[in-house]
Amino acid sequence: MPIMSMRGAATMGSGAAIAAVLLLAGLPSPVAAQGAGLAGAWSGSGRITLSTGDSERARCRVNFRRQTPKSFGMTATCATPSARVSQVAQVQQVSPTSYEGRFYNREYDVTGTVRIAVNGRRLTAYLRGGGASASLSLTR
């Protein structure tokens, strides 16, 4: 059985290191992985505070669709004891785990802002517009 010289071992070690770097270079970056984590279906609940000051519990289903590496389209349907509403939004990634954008509710012709924070399989969303606001906690 041949014995490898130290020079041959060093060359093999360098080759393994280069292969590891090339393998890792093919993996998505943590930022891209976080963005990918937003896409898909989410559901959960929260509170909506109406312009009158009244507050209601809401249940929501939300879907995010990637449009560019850092932007997503959102469709959401939420139900409270008094109403069922749908809205759409466009959000942009502003940090590895947070997104901001604008929403539009066609039924009531209301626009506003949306802020989203993602932590693994949990998402927190804050919406404000038309004198009302909402805070939602969603999961996959």
Residue 5 lies in a domain: no
For the record, the structure tokens of 68 come out as: 């560019």
Residue 33: band (very low, low, confident or very high) from pLDDT cuts 50, 70, 90: very low
CATH number at residue 118: 2.40.128.120
Predicted TM-score (pTM) of this structure = 0.73
| C-alpha to C-alpha distance for 124 and 115, rounded to whole angstroms | 8
Residue 107 lies in a domain: yes
Whether the predicted pLDDT of 98 surpasses 90: yes
| C-alpha to C-alpha distance for 91 and 129, rounded to whole angstroms | 15
Residue 74 lies in a domain: yes
Query: Which of helix, strand or coil describes residue 31?
Result: helix
Q: Is-contact 28 37, C-beta < 8 A?
A: no
- What pLDDT, on a 0 to 100 scale, did the predictor assign at position 37? 83
Residue 47 lies in a domain: yes
Query: Which of helix, strand or coil describes residue 137?
Result: strand
Q: How many domains does the chain have?
A: 1
Residue 107, domain extent: 32-139
